[in-house]
Chains A and B, each alone.
Chain A
Amino acid sequence: MKYDVRQLPLLSNEEIAHGIFDMRLAYRQDDLPVACGQFAHVYVPSKTLRRPISVCDASDGELRLVYQVKGAGTQIMSQMQPGSMVDVLGPLGHGFQIEKGRRYCLIGGGIGVPPMLLTAKQCEDPLIITGFRSKSLVILQEDFKALGETLLCTDDGSAGQKGFVTDLLRERIGEIDEVCACGPTPMLKAVAAVCREYGKPCQVSLEERMGCGVGACLVCAVKVRKNGEEIMQHVCKNGPVFQAEEVVF
């Protein structure tokens, strides 16, 4: 894989839900081919480490990153002004493998929802399940509805159905061939368990703290089982998307 760093002009950076921002960068797909589930390693001025953010969408000359303000780095990102340049390394990593002729269920939980948008664009008639803690954090519903049947649930019932994404998955799992999921680890674990129960393949996008972002520093380790043996792989290079049955959660 060829790597490069690019300065992308910031087009807009708007708050779309409480503490969640939608950053749009000018970009050309010819310069910067992006696959669904890949991430951008974003330079944050004054910080020693870049911040990994999944590609939410890439089309019409725009690269879209949707992120939640968590700590100092994403705080600084949220204050970047249109017209400034954003230093992006990537897109990096291996994303979701989408094959023709299969029906996918795409599951996003919380701030794991954004990468499912570009993924939904690659699928034929996907079933999309999005889950959030509560109404104030719900994002991207209109974008998803344009691409397929979209289900919404919240932990507290303040929007959509009350409950977890796995409840909705159980109701509909008979209709689909494979699951792709991104979200907090406990959610991914639960989704993977449901898929195993029903014998459906499942791809999960994992998070780990990163340094280089390209597979050189070995800090973003994840334990996976390959050919019966447990080995360490790396979220930035081998992932962020892994086959759920290989991940030692």
Chain B
Amino acid sequence: MADLSVKVAGVTFNNPLIAASGTFGFGREYGEFYPLSTLGGISCKGITLKRRDGNPPPRIAETPSGILNAVGLQNPGVDVFIREDLPWLKQQGTVVIANIAGNTVDEYCQMAEKLSETDVDMIELNISCPNVKSGGVQFGTSCESVENITAAVRKSCKKPLIVKLSPNVTDIASIAQAAEAAGADAISMINTLTGMRIDIHTRRPIIRNNTGGLSGAAVFPVAVRMVWQVANAVKLPIIGMGGISTWEDAAEMLMAGATALQIGTVLFSDPYAPVKINEGLNRFLDENNMTSVTDLTKTVIPW
């Protein structure tokens, strides 16, 4: 029985698996399958300052080994989250991460300020949502804007600050360095890659938003490559995600440089994936006489 716990920016997770933002709501539904303490942590659905209704449906399309989604940040707003969901989440014995998105830098700062006064464990800055018209990804695609927003939120934020990176950039390592320079405590990556599907009979995009974000097994090799590049460029701990579906994927992502992991899309086909991945990791560590899952991090032997 190896030690599966990991530490990211001073916060201890019982195991390296965190539910990926937007795939797990505020935890209540998956809490009907198993105790949420099965997971090391939960990154909650992205929240905004005011309630958002999101995009019109269809919001999802299947792709080879993946999905496109364009939910458009439907959420009840930060105040409702703090009042109605956070107190319950904090009783579930798992790390609670608030994922925040805004239209302006000021909105991000206001949310960070509010959340700093709560019991939330960490804040994840979502500057990588491809599915909203303003806000989201435009803050995450140049080094200047990443540095600018990270520095601004850092001042308003008393919690460990995770910056979630978009893969829709030319040089992800320099973006990560900008976040590090501006005071981020950790990096999480990757958010979805923008994509599109068209119904050839109607000539309409399947997703009402026309484009959506690609996730699931299809993006896994891209995510591994990006985590590896960022691990070579910054000292910050990395929460790796993008298509992790099996314990082998989890081990691979850790070896590429991740300290903790998020899993999302795999839950839709197998809600019990976290249980299976943790079991598999544990077995792998035992078989290799390793005592802690942290012994896997960044152990790739590159050519």
Residues of A within 8 A of B (CB): 1-5, 43, 47-50, 73, 89, 208-223, 231-232, 237
Contact = CB atoms under 8 A, between A and B. Distances in A.
A218 B54 contact: yes
A212 B23 contact: yes
Nearest to A214: B29
Contacts of A49: 60, 62, 67, 268-269
A209 B57 contact: yes
- Chain B, interface size: which category? 35 or more
Given A212-B267, A212-B268, A231 B53 contact: yes
Sorted nearest first, the 9 A-B pairs with minimum C-beta distance are A216-B25, A219-B60, A219-B59, A216-B29, A214-B29, A3-B32, A209-B58, A211-B268, A221-B57
Given A218-B45, A232-B74, A1 B32 contact: yes
Given A3-B29, A216-B30, A48 B67 contact: yes
Given A48-B67, A231-B53, A214 B30 contact: yes
B147 to A, nearest CB: 31
Interface of B: 22-25, 29-30, 32-33, 45, 53-63, 65-67, 69, 71, 74, 206, 216-217, 265, 267-272
Contact of A217 (B25, B63, B270, B272): B25
Nearest to A217: B23
Contact of A48 (B29, B59, B216): B216
Tell which of B29, B60, B65, B268 has the most Cβ of chain A within 10 Å: B268
Q: Is the interface of A mostly helix, strand, loop or mixed?
A: loop
A123 to B, nearest CB: 30
26 contacts: A1-B32, A3-B32, A3-B33, A43-B269, A208-B57, A209-B61, A210-B60, A211-B23, A211-B67, A212-B271, A216-B23, A216-B24, A216-B29, A216-B267, A217-B60, A218-B25, A218-B45, A218-B54, A218-B74, A219-B57, A220-B57, A221-B55, A221-B59, A222-B57, A232-B54, A232-B74
A241 B281 CA distance: 41
Contact of A208 (B58, B61, B206): B58
A49 B216 CA distance: 10
Nearest to A232: B53
Given A49-B268, A208-B58, A212-B268, A219 B69 contact: yes
